[in-house]
Chain A
Amino acid sequence: MTSDTPVSKQKINVRDLAVSVLIILIGWQLVVWVTEVPRYILPGPLAVAEALFKYSDLLAMHAWVTAIEVVVGLIFGTLLGMATAMYLTMSATATRYMMPILVISQTVPVFALAPILTLWFGYGLGSKIAMTILIIYFPVASSFLDGLRATPKGFLDLAQSMRATKFNTLIRVRLPAALPSLSSGIRLATVYAPIGAIIGEWVGASQGLGYLMLLANGRVKIDLMFAALVTLCIFTLLLRAVTNALCNRLDHWAGQSH
């Protein structure tokens, strides 16, 4: 693993990961045994594993709900971010009036909007998807916009000398040249998206891993809470692996990595 690869793009070596996870688990179990922390404060990994098996159906059902929220939010947030970036690239007027709003809107803590979203979109999937979209929209839009604007000047000169229209230049020159920027935006969004869904579920929901965690917490079923957390981690890792593979293909196609 080279040190000049960005952290977000570093490949995870499964064997190294297994070793470090094992060390953490053993340390954790030892702490629990030695200090005799009560189970309702910190259950040991063995207790969590037990809960994982005991509640596997329940966990799977709630994980499925969260997964749908995250994936749908990720797809629509990415599309919305892309559309915004492309529109801003095409129109100088839009950039002039929309950019300040976009930048200022980032000072609003998105989490603070969660109760309002629940009010508007209800307790179902809608409000969580909206939350996820909100949280990933800006990273995707801004990194794609940066990419669209950073098209090599020579490419644009060439396109102009070949009498390409503004729209064709956007679709056939700027867009493919900006794909690597888009894929780093999507990588970032993949990390954020589950946060949006979980916050949405905390504020008000009847299903999902975030809801399950609050429920378990209220009933002092801390082992179940940890089991839900572990499930969420596994899901996020899988999601990251899938988007990484997709983004790598995108980069490869754009001629960025060989």
Chain B
Amino acid sequence: MQSTLVGLSITGSFQRDTNILFSDISFELKQGCWTCLLGPSGVGKSTLLRLLAGLSTGGQFDGQIRTNPEFIATDTDVNQGANNIANVISYMAQTDLLFPWLDVRQNIMLGQRLRHENNTAHYSKKTVDRLIDQVGLGAHEYKRPHQLSGGMRQRVALARTLMEDQPIVLLDEPFSALDARTRDDMQSLAFDVLKDKTVLLVTHDPTEAVRLAHHLFVMTHDGIHSHQTPPNLPPRSVEHPKTLTAQATLLRVLKS
């Protein structure tokens, strides 16, 4: 059953130089659901996501970002500062961002490497084994990124995101650079492995949004508006008439 708890919410305005990217938006992610934010390129979707991820945006945000306080309490390094958003999110970008000098296993364990967490090595090893299995990279765990195809690389990136084991996952068009078939596989895989998380997927692809969203928002230059999703639960079949109708409606909204 879908939760009504709020995992993450943001209210406020954002401007870069004198250019107001969005003003007085109010937008929330329901806990344990996939929320898709659909919009054309250049409308500020990625900036919004970077803001939520606590990354530099080169602009001025005036407002509030709140996460479910329970998330903070379960986090291990509370002393890092409870209001640090990086403590509860993991982030996956459009490019896989695999480090070329690390193999698949080491790339998946990147977070541990970067935080110097060697004391949990045994636990980590077992988790990595499980994740490699989950994303279907069993035969490739000691390969370097350049030996992998685009789809496989994005699987490694997904496993690395899961390895962080954070309650909130922010996805910045992670499937847009893949070919159609690989994208379809990756969407199903990601939906499956991230089903307990509070997910925000930023995308410019109506098909992707309709396929995966529990909750759907459309971002245009006028702001962010909630949008109806088909009544059945995601992941929806691409060729289902209701999916296709919803997709057509969304395209119209994007064009207007």
Contacts and interface: CB of A to CB of B under 8 A. Distances in A.
A and B form one complex: yes
Interface of A: 152, 154-155, 157-164, 168-169, 172-173, 176-177, 179, 253-256, 258
B123 interface: no
B144 interface: yes
A163 B101 contact: no
Nearest to A179: B101
Given A155-B99, A176-B101, A253-B101, A162 B93 contact: no
B115 A162 contact: yes
Contact of B144 (A162, A163, A177, A255): A255
B145 interface: yes
Contacts of B55: 157, 160-161
B93 A158 contact: yes
Contacts of A253: 101
A164 B100 contact: no
Contact of B91 (A158, A168, A177, A179): A158
B100 A162 contact: no
B80 to A, nearest CB: 7
Contact of B111 (A162, A169, A179, A256): A162
Given A169-B114, A255-B144, 15 more contacts: A155-B99, A157-B55, A158-B93, A161-B89, A162-B111, A162-B114, A163-B87, A163-B111, A168-B114, A172-B113, A176-B99, A176-B101, A177-B99, A254-B100, A255-B145
B115 A164 contact: yes
Nearest to B160: A158
Interface size on B, as a range, is 20 to 34
8 contacts: A157-B50, A157-B53, A162-B86, A162-B90, A163-B87, A163-B115, A172-B113, A255-B144
B43 to A, nearest CB: 20
A7 B114 CA distance: 37
B164 interface: yes
B101 A161 contact: no
Contacts of B114: 159, 162-164, 168-169, 172-173
B69 to A, nearest CB: 19
A162 B110 contact: yes
B67 to A, nearest CB: 14
A161 B51 CA distance: 11
B97 A162 contact: no
B225 interface: no
Given A164-B114, A168-B116, A169-B114, A155 B97 contact: yes
B138 interface: no
A162 B164 contact: yes
B91 A255 contact: no
B8 to A, nearest CB: 14
A254 B95 CA distance: 19
A163 B86 contact: yes
A255 B97 contact: no
Interface in B210-244: none
Contacts of B115: 162-164, 168
Interface in B66-98: 77, 80, 84, 86-87, 89-91, 93, 95, 97
A160 B86 contact: yes
B89 to A, nearest CB: 7
B146 interface: yes
Identify which of B80, B89, B110 gathers the most chain A CB atoms within 10 Å of its CB: B110
A153 to B, nearest CB: 9
A163 to B, nearest CB: 5
B91 A161 contact: yes
B12 interface: no
Contacts of A176: 99, 101
Contacts of A255: 99-101, 144-146
